[in-house]
Chain A
Amino acid sequence: RKEVEQDPGPFNVPEGATVAFNCTYSNSASQSFFWYRQDCRKEPKLLMSVYSSGNEDGRFTAQLNRASQYISLLIRDSKLSDSATYLCVVTFNKFYFGSGTKLNVKP
């Protein structure tokens, strides 16, 4: 079983839509959680850390559910510029990257 699993998508949504991605992890002792964004042919960039109490950054909300071992990313009012691949990252002594979920926001 992979340490981190994500639905590869693609998620095709219209502008203005709300979209959510989940990411499951296998190790219940995982320590830190992050969401990254990767544009086509570019490096991954940190979008936000995920805290136990949940956290929000503008249109983006990240949540952690330790009991069910998943993290989520909610994007409200999607913009064309949100089109990218979203990677979840979980740490347990080392970093484990998911393979990413592709989001296409259409006009």
Chain B
Amino acid sequence: NAGVTQTPKFRILKIGQSMTLQCTQDMNHNYMYWYRQDPGMGLKLIYYSVGAGITDKGEVPNGYNVSRSTTEDFPLRLELAAPSQTSVYFCASSTRDSPQFFGPGTRLTVL
């Protein structure tokens, strides 16, 4: 079991560029989540999904989009990157009652 994997590990974007952060889990978890964490701060929920085809906004969804076409994959799309989106992005998965398990994160810098 690889658990939750994320790619890329690091990325530098220019303002206005777009990119997709990939997240895959092999634990057959229905629930998946995207968080961002700014330096010295707590986790902020961007989007989450309770199953394939179902997504919902978290507390900071602006500037991001998600899709969930399979149980395993939950990509996060950044459109028109801005410096305020410089952060570490974590993907996580869980069942309805289990704790969340996190991927290793993607460190994104927007210049």
- Residues of the A chain whose Cβ atoms lie less than 8 Å from the Cβ of B94: 95
A99 and B41 contacting across the interface, CB-CB below 8 Å: yes
- Chain B residues bordering chain A, tally (CB within 8 A): 17
Query: What's the least CB distance linking B19 to chain A, in Å?
Result: 20
Interface centre among B94, B101, B102, B103 (most CB of A within 10 A): B102
Number of A-B contacts (CB under 8 A): 35
Chain A contact patch, size range: 10 to 19
Q: Mark B74-105, 1 if CB is under 8 A from A, else 0.
A: 00000000000000101000100101111111
Residue of B nearest to A47 (CB): B99
Q: Which residue of A lies closest to B91 (CB)?
A: A43
A14, B92: Cα distance in complex, Å: 34
Find out whether the CB atom of A97 lies under 8 angstroms from the CB atom of B43: yes
A98 touches B88 (CB 8 A): no
Say whether B42 contacts A43, CB under 8 Å: no
Residues 79 to 103 of chain A near chain B (Cβ within 8 Å): 87, 89, 94-95, 97-100
Interface residues of B (CB under 8 A from A): 33, 41-43, 48, 88, 90, 94, 97, 99-105, 107
